[in-house]
Amino acid sequence: MTKQPPRLQLKGMTKIYPTVVANDSIDLNIAPGEIHAVLGENGAGKSTLMKAIYGVVKPDRGEILWNGEVVDIHNPAFARKLGIGMVFQHFSLFETLTVTENIALAMDDSKDMESLAVRIKEVSEEYGLPLDPNQLVHSLSVGLRQRVEIIRCLLQKPTLLIMDEPTSVLTPQAVRTMFETLRRIAAEGCSILYISHKLDEILELCHSATIIRNGKVTGYANPKEETASSLAKMMIGKELPVCSREKPEVDGEECLIINNLSKEADDQFGTDLQNINFSVNGGEIVGIAGISGNGQQELLYAISGEHPSNNNQCIVVNGNAAGNMDPDQRRNLGLGFVPAERIGRGAVPGMSLSNNAILTAHRHGMVDKGLLKPEMASDFSQKCITDFAVKCGSKADPITSLSGGNIQKYITGREILQTPQLLVVAQPTWGVDIGAANIIRQAMIDLRNNGSAILVVSEELDELFEICDRLVVMAEGRVSPSLTVNETSKEEIGLWMSGMFPGGPSEDSNKTEANEAG
């Protein structure tokens, strides 16, 4: 009986950029039906390797064998014809098009848009990732955009599925559903290359793993025989840093007050904010939990000043009514902000690391009498690179030359190094490796310990329970009462995420049903 060849085999894959060797003679095999993890720190070369397989970048050396035959994957269209699909970490979506129109761009049989919309709705619901096919992408939250990427790929029925941080912004419930789907398609013969920094996912889902460090393969592992700690040590080459949660007694004043904030969404597909009340004091971290698309994006726009309110008193920043102020005015009051969208809202793609530092940190000695002081921006940028372990060629590099996780470290570090009185952070460790995630979390804890107020919006409950002092939940544009992390549990917060909290939307539905029954 002839032995079946690997579905995909890489031999000596090498990709060299002017400032870094991204991939250095990498070998990798994946069999039909195998779920194979690729592990490594941010900047280790994982995404570059996946893009070479998908035809987005051309390797300088090496061979790709597909079902035992050498192939030249010169572009993504050829990769898709072979049966390769990829879910990117950074979304490749057109903001002004609908979900259906975006998906149609990657489909060969997409002339009948109505039929495609029906398929999108059916497949997304079957996989537990429901989408509205007619919704415009610019109105979607980060989590919903991730769903579009996943469904677009699954509709192509690939025989090799590449997933680059696919669960970064999915809820625990959605992750469970997706894992069931992945196991099912793997059992049907589809091979899956899986990149994730969530080591518990690797242990639960994957059959095998290749570890990459600084562009080279440093080992192979069977996740069933490893622990999260042993995999982390293989990834970073040393013991995993641990966050210190010790909290001094800091009796800070209210740095952020949200007072009866109600606001219609600017987009027809958005979520209206309904009578939101909560506050954040200096010396504490408050987390907002919730399923993506329940008003978190609209709340962040309101707090940052991107979508000001007519009521100036509904948002108070460090004692100043700020509801109708613009973002720059709020930053002048001591607000720091890390948006969920790294590129476009957190950083300008065509600019260097140093120039991206100027965008929000120019108040800190980088401008004198209207003139920029490049040396100050350069020093600040270098400190950010050093303190937050940002892997890059130099501070003069364009920010888009960095991996996604390193961009996140840089943007978050840029805000934290300004020691704002109030820091608002969305998805602080999205796509960041476990070692770097702990660096970011520790930096936020240290900032809190120095008296700053921090508001964290995250869909990772583990993260919120690790760093937060209090939690509130958002559901359908409303917020729950706050709970200290010591008086609640992940199970209770998960229940509240469905709207079942005092004054929540589920409670209203139950009252309505009871009244109608009466």
Residue 2 lies inside a defined structural domain of this protein: no
Out of 186, 206, 236, a domain closes at 236
- Mark whether 350 and 215 lie in a shared domain: no
Whether 255 contacts 317, CB under 8 Å: yes
Whether 162 contacts 170, CB under 8 Å: no
Q: Which region, left, alpha or beta, applies to residue 128 given φ > 0 means left and ψ of -120 to 50 means alpha?
A: left
- Mark whether 36 and 140 lie in a shared domain: yes
- Mark whether 111 and 173 lie in a shared domain: yes
**CA 71 and chain centroid, separation:** 33
Residue 3 lies inside a defined structural domain of this protein: no
Task: For the chain, report the end-to-end CA distance as a whole number of angstroms.
Answer: 72
- Mark whether 87 and 218 lie in a shared domain: yes
Instruction: Using the structure block, give the residue that is written with the tokens 């095998």.
Output: 208
The 3-state secondary structure of 442-507, one letter per residue: HHHHHHHHCCCEEEEECCCHHHHHHHCCEEEEEECCEECCCEEHHHCCHHHHHHHCCCCCCCCHHH
Residue 409 lies inside a defined structural domain of this protein: yes
pLDDT for residue 391: 86
Element (H, E) at 247: none
The partner residues of 456 in beta bridges, in order of sequence, read 287, 425
Query: Per-residue pLDDT for 142 more than 90?
Result: no
Residue 379 lies inside a defined structural domain of this protein: yes
CB-based contacts of 328, cutoff 8 Å, min separation 6: 305
pLDDT for residue 513: 45
Instruction: Using the structure block, give the residue that is written with the tokens 């600040």.
Output: 380
How many separate domains does the chain show? 3
Residue 376 has which token pair? 């100050």
Query: Per-residue pLDDT for 243 more than 80?
Result: no
- Mark whether 310 and 429 lie in a shared domain: yes
Out of 395, 419, 443, a domain closes at 419
- Mark whether 94 and 205 lie in a shared domain: yes
Residue 79 lies inside a defined structural domain of this protein: yes
> Which residues form the domain of 327?
251-334+421-518
Residue 486: Cβ within 10 Å count: 8
| pLDDT digit string, tens, across residues 13-28 | 999 988 789 999 999 9
**SS3 (DSSP) at 367:** strand
Out of 202, 236, 270, a domain closes at 236
- Mark whether 51 and 191 lie in a shared domain: yes
pLDDT for residue 129: 78
Mean pLDDT of the chain: 88
Instruction: Using the structure block, give the residue that is written with the tokens 């789907």.
Output: 181
**CA 98 and chain centroid, separation:** 22
Comparing 187 with 510, the larger pLDDT belongs to 187
